[in-house]
Amino acid sequence: MTTSASKAKSKNTHYEFKTDVKQLLDLVTHSLYSHKDIFLRELISNASDAIDKVRFESLTNADLLEDNSEWQVEITPDEKEKTLTIKDNGCGMSREDLIDHIGTIAKSGTQDFIDKIKESKKQDNPDLIGQFGVGFYSSFMVADKVTVRTRTAGGTGWQWVSTGEASFDLDECDKQDRGTEVVLHLKEECEDYLQEYTIRETVKKYSNFVEFPICMEVERNEYPKDKDGNDDYKAEPKKVKSTETLNSAEAIWMQPKSEIKKEDYSSFYKQISHDFQDPMETIHYSAEGAMEYKALMYLPSKAPQNIFSPDSIKGMHLYINRVFIMNDCKKLLPEYLRFVNGVVDSSDLPLNVSREILQDNPQLEKINKGLVNKLLSTLKTMKNKKPEEYLKFYNEFGMVLKEGLHYDQDNKEKLMELVMFPTTKTAEGEFKSLKDYVDGMKKNQKEIYYISAENRAKALNSPHLELYKSKNMEVLLMIDNVDEYILPQLTEYDKKPIKSVTAGAESLKGNKEKEKAAKEKAKELGDLLTAVKEKLGDDIKEVKFSGKLTESACCLTADDSEMNAQMAQMMRSMGQAMPDPKKILELNPTHPLIDVLNGLFEADKDSEQFGEYVGLIYEQALLTEGSQLKDPLGFAKKVSELMVKAQKA
To ligand ADP, the closest distance from the beta carbon of 186 in angstroms equals 19
State the Cα–Cα distance between residues 159 and 95, nearest whole angstrom: 9
Which residues have CB under 8 Å from 15's CB, separation 6+?
5, 6, 7, 8, 99, 103, 167, 168, 169, 170
CA 565 to chain centre: 28
Measure the CA dihedral 514/519/525/531, to 10°.
100
Angstrom distance (rounded) from CA 593 to CA 599? 10
Nearer to ligand ADP, 98 or 597 (CB): 98
Q: Which is nearer to ligand ADP, 43 or 194 (CB)?
A: 43
Closest to ligand ADP by CB, 41 vs 521, is 41
**What is the CB neighbour count within 10 angstroms for residue 321?**
13
**Is 448 strand, coil or helix?**
strand
Neighbouring C-alpha atoms within 13 Å toward the C-beta of 359: 9
How many CB atoms neighbour CB 641 within 10 A?
Answer: 11
129 or 621: whose CB is closer to ligand ADP? 129
Closer to ligand ADP by CB, 343 or 479: give it. 343
Please answer whether residues 98 and 287 qualify as being in contact, where contact means their C-beta atoms are separated by less than 8 angstroms. no
Instruction: Decide whether 129 or 434 has the Cβ nearer to ligand ADP.
Output: 129
Least Cβ distance, residue 57 to ligand ADP (angstroms): 12
**Closest CB to ligand ADP among residues 180, 426:** 180
Question: C-alpha angle 552/647/612, rounded to 5°?
Answer: 55
Min separation Cβ 16 and ligand ADP, Å: 18
Nearest distance, CB of residue 8 and ligand ADP, angstroms: 22
Residue 122 C-beta: closest distance to ligand ADP, Å: 23
Q: Which of 498, 541, 534, 537 is nearest to 606 (CA)?
A: 534
Residue nearest to ligand ADP (CB): 135
Residues 6 or more apart in contact with residue 365 via CB below 8 angstroms: 331
Please tell me whether residue 176 adopts helix, strand or coil conformation.
Answer: coil
- H or E segment to which residue 285 belongs: strand 281-287
Q: Which residues bind ligand ADP (CB under 6 A)?
A: 42, 46-47, 50, 88, 90-93, 101-102, 133, 135-136, 180
Number of H helices, E strands in the chain: 22, 24
- Helix axes 362-385 and 387-407, enclosed angle (nearest 10): 140
CB of 106 to ligand ADP, least distance (A): 8
Q: Which is nearer to ligand ADP, 114 or 585 (CB)?
A: 114
Rg (CA), the chain: 34
| Residue ranges of E strands in 414-550 | 420-421, 432-433, 448-452, 476-478, 492-493, 496-500, 540-545
Q: What are phi and psi of 284, to 5 degrees?
A: -130, 120
Per the document, the length of the chain is 649
Beta strands 214-222 and 73-78: pairing type?
parallel
CB of residue 142 vs ligand ADP: minimum separation in angstroms? 15
Q: Least separation, in Å, of the C-beta of 139 and ligand ADP?
A: 9
CB of 452 to ligand ADP, least distance (A): 40
Comparison of 131 and 552: residue with beta carbon closer to ligand ADP: 131
What is the closest distance, in whole angstroms, from the C-beta atom of residue 136 to ligand ADP in the complex? Answer: 3
Give the orientation angle of helix 110-119 with respect to helix 19-31, to 10 degrees.
Answer: 40
Nearest distance from residue 189's CB to ligand ADP, in Å?
23
- CA proximity to 88, closest of 106, 73, 103: 73
CA distance 249 to 254: 12
Q: Which is nearer to ligand ADP, 71 or 635 (CB)?
A: 71
Shortest distance in whole angstroms from residue 130 CB to ligand ADP: 11
- The CB-of-137 to ligand ADP minimum distance in angstroms stands at 6
For ligand ADP, the closer of residues 271 and 620 by Cβ is 271
Q: Give the residue with the Cβ less far from ligand ADP, 77 or 92.
A: 92
**Residue placing its CB nearer to ligand ADP in the complex, 39 or 293:** 39
